[in-house]
Amino acid sequence: MTEAVAERAVDVPTPDGVCDAVLFYPGDGKPHPGVVLYPDVKALRSAVLGMASRLASHGYAVLAVNQFYRVGRRPVWHPTFDMSHQEDRPPALQRMKNLDHPKVMRDAAAFVAFLDVQQEVDPSAKLGGVGFCMGGPMTVRLAATAPDRVGAAASFHGGFLVTDEPTSPHRLLAKTKARYHFGVAVNDDLAAPNDKIELKGALDAARLDGTVEVYPGANHGWMMPDVPPHNPAQAERGWAAMLELFGATLR
């Protein structure tokens, strides 16, 4: 059963400045488990806000963040931004590169601290994280930042989850205590077929509960309703997996 949702724009103080975000929460006046929502490279926009509102309607206080706040407040891209466009791809890749491990970890700590003092958030419940594309690995870093607070993380068509870096997300899993769902795009799996094996192996080695699933017929970006790869049927499967994960872990 879904609930009516309220929202308010918020500014989250971080060690590097102020992150503009929107907090969505059930309008019942009760505290609920908190969730950090990390957008894809197109950043915080109406489609993402709609997704955050939908998640909140299932009983969560969802903080949808502008991960590029160091560049500026939203919108951080022009209205026709497209990663496939020659003029848009280089600056997008550079912005993603600039959001390195230390910055994401500092931000994650700030997001946890912010949620923990909001009246809409139940401090006795575990926190969750969900991320898309570049936001996928950020959910693992969120869980590594606050292992005793973050109980679940979902990543959909996440990029750079398995790298050679010592701070690769799959290597950080051992520092977390969360339950996971990694939803993998078909074309991402074709490009790096060993990544799903590495992720599952890292989960098993850390003795963590988690699933790694390649979504049939779903290409990178399939969860996002405003991009061409959007696959409604597989997106609903992703939503079901996320809601099951959070429902079993954050309550």
Tens of pLDDT, residues 189-238:
999 999 999 999 999 999 999 999 999 999 999 999 999 999 999 999 99
Residues 6+ apart with CB under 8 A from 105: 141, 144, 145
Can you tell me the distance from the alpha carbon of 88 to that of 182, in angstroms, rounded to the nearest whole number?
Answer: 27
| % of residues, the chain, pLDDT over 90 | 91
pLDDT for 80? 87
Question: Quick one: pLDDT band at residue 3, thresholds 50, 70, 90?
Answer: confident
Q: What is the pLDDT of residues 127-141, one digit of tens each?
A: 999 999 999 999 999
- Identify whether the C-beta of residue 250 lies closer than 8 Å to the C-beta of residue 154: no
Question: Mean pLDDT, to the nearest integer, of 52-63?
Answer: 98
Side by side, the strands of the sheet bearing 34-38 are 5-14, 17-26, 61-65, 34-38, 127-132, 150-156, 179-184, 210-214
The crossing angle, in degrees rounded to 10, of helices 101-115 and 135-145 is: 70
- Identify whether the C-beta of residue 185 lies closer than 8 Å to the C-beta of residue 212: no
| % of residues, the chain, pLDDT over 70 | 100
- Identify whether the C-beta of residue 181 lies closer than 8 Å to the C-beta of residue 174: no
Whole-number mean pLDDT of the chain? 96
Structure tokens at 248: 């079993």
User: pTM here?
Assistant: 0.97
Task: Check pLDDT > 70 for residue 1.
Answer: no
- Identify whether the C-beta of residue 162 lies closer than 8 Å to the C-beta of residue 169: yes
Question: Mean pLDDT, to the nearest integer, of 147-174?
Answer: 98
Can you tell me the distance from the alpha carbon of 31 to that of 164, in angstroms, rounded to the nearest whole number?
Answer: 41
Domains belonging to the chain, first-starting first, are 5-249 (3.40.50.1820)
Can you tell me the distance from the alpha carbon of 238 to that of 59, in angstroms, rounded to the nearest whole number?
Answer: 18
